[in-house]
């Protein structure tokens, strides 16, 4: 990691939601660095704060939620200090997103070219219509689709093609950081691989960094360089994908890995005991302690700090605190 520059530096990010039952911190003091050209996978059970973090990085949290504190630096810009117009521009050139369920967000009555050109026009680059059309066709080709797709409507495309179009829209402005939120969740296994290969190739060409959110640990193992494991709005562990699978530190990471299917356990399903806690009723101390096989007395009282155990490796657990 040391020979690469930092593409995105997130410091102490807190995202709060106001509910009828009280305030919750859906992202609760998250800090990490994403290196240039790096692929970081973000994993965790549903409702752990992954998608909220993605939206927060795009500064797209809507009321009753708000970014309470924190910084997100790309180059010399803290995204949270940019004015509205600068952030709109940053959303294309600095940080782009392929949102969850993106292929369902295509407008059924608009041709694909118009949907991509809308994005380009939105960023006021002063391009002529012909130039925007050329950029739209290039974007389609960059995700392995023919220029002919530009004149088609969404209903004429397969699920995989629609997802590629969404990747083309998200990446048309060649952002430095790409956030892909479950980019393949509604696709069959073969199409999933093809879409991931496409995103990977595109990322290689543009030298962008990527944060990929997924439940699919297999996809994760093949695609990312490092894994960030999230639990109850916090990062439990960040490590290389090899360390995450062969030498996980945090008890939650260990349990996540142990739930992966293996042939020798055919027919036996392994799950993590208990349920992820509600943000409204987080246990005191380490939020994982009611489910943790290694819990100690201190775990019920004190929240563990996030510490760096080696370069690029972070863990939040009392087992590793000095
Ligand atoms: Fe388990 Fe304690 Fe570590 Fe939390 S801090 S993961 S309860 S050992």
The predicted-structure confidence for 244-269, as pLDDT tens digits, reads as follows: 999 999 999 999 888 877 767 676 66
DSSP element (H, E) containing 15: strand 6-19
**Range from 84-98, 228-242, 285-299 carrying the lowest mean pLDDT:** 84-98
How does DSSP classify residue 43? E
From the centroid of its chain, how far is CA 104? 19
Residue 137: CATH number of its domain: 3.40.50.300
Query: 127-147 burial string, b = 16+ CB within 10 Å, else e?
Result: eeeeebbebbbebbebbbbee
pLDDT at 204: 83
Distance 5 CA to ligand 1 centre (A): 32
Evaluate whether 213 touches 42 at the Cβ level (below 8 Å).
yes
pLDDT at 184: 76
Q: Is the minimum distance from the CB of 295 to ligand 1 under 6 angstroms?
A: yes
Within a domain: residue 285? yes
For the segment 45-65, the average pLDDT, to the nearest whole number, is 92
Evaluate whether 139 touches 171 at the Cβ level (below 8 Å).
yes
Residue 61 reports pLDDT greater than 70? yes
Within a domain: residue 292? yes
Within a domain: residue 61? yes
Read off the pLDDT of residues 192-243 as tens digits, 9 standing for 90 and up.
777 788 888 878 888 899 999 987 787 888 899 999 999 999 999 999 999 9
CA distance 30 to 13: 5
pTM of the predicted protein model:
0.89
Read off the pLDDT of residues 142-166 as tens digits, 9 standing for 90 and up.
888 899 999 999 999 988 888 888 8
- The structural domain count of the chain equals 1
Within a domain: residue 1? no
Within a domain: residue 266? no
Residue among 271, 308, 305 nearest 291 (CA): 271
Q: Helix 129-142 and helix 159-171: axis angle, to 10°? A: 120
Pocket test for ligand 1, best of 232, 299, 301, 306 (most atoms within 8 A of CB): 299
């Amino acid at each position: 990691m040391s020979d690469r520059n930092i593409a995105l530096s997130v410091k102490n990010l807190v995202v709060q939601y106001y509910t009828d039952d009280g305030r919750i911190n859906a992202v609760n003091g998250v800090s990490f660095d994403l290196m240039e050209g790096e692929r970081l996978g973000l994993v965790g059970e549903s409702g752990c704060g992954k998608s909220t973090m993605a939206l927060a990085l795009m500064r797209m949290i809507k009321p009753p939620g708000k970014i309470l504190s924190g910084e997100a630096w790309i180059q010399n810009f803290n995204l949270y200090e940019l004015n509205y117009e600068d952030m709109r521009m940053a959303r294309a050139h600095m940080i782009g997103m392929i949102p969850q369920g993106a292929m369902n967000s295509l407008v059924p009555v608009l041709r694909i070219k118009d949907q991509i050109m809308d994005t380009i026009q939105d960023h006021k680059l002063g391009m002529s219509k012909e130039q925007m059309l050329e950029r739209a066709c290039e974007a389609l080709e960059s995700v392995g689709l023919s220029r002919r797709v530009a004149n088609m409507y969404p209903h004429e495309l397969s699920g995989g093609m629609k997802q590629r179009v969404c990747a083309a829209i998200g990446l048309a402005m060649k952002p430095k950081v790409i956030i892909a939120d479950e980019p393949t969740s509604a696709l069959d296994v073969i199409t999933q691989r093809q879409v991931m290969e496409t995103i990977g190739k595109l990322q290689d060409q543009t030298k962008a960094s990527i944060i990929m959110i997924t439940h699919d640990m297999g996809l994760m193992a093949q695609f990312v360089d490092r894994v960030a494991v999230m639990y109850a709005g916090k990062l439990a562990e960040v490590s290389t994908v090899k360390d995450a699978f062969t030498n996980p530190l945090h008890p939650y990471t260990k349990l996540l890995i142990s739930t992966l299917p293996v042939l020798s356990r055919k027919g036996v399903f392994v799950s993590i005991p208990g349920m992820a806690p509600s943000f409204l009723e987080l246990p005191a101390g380490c939020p994982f302690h009611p489910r943790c096989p290694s819990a100690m007395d201190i775990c019920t009282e004190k929240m563990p700090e996030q510490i760096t155990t080696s370069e690029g490796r972070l863990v939040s657990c009392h087992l590793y605190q000095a």
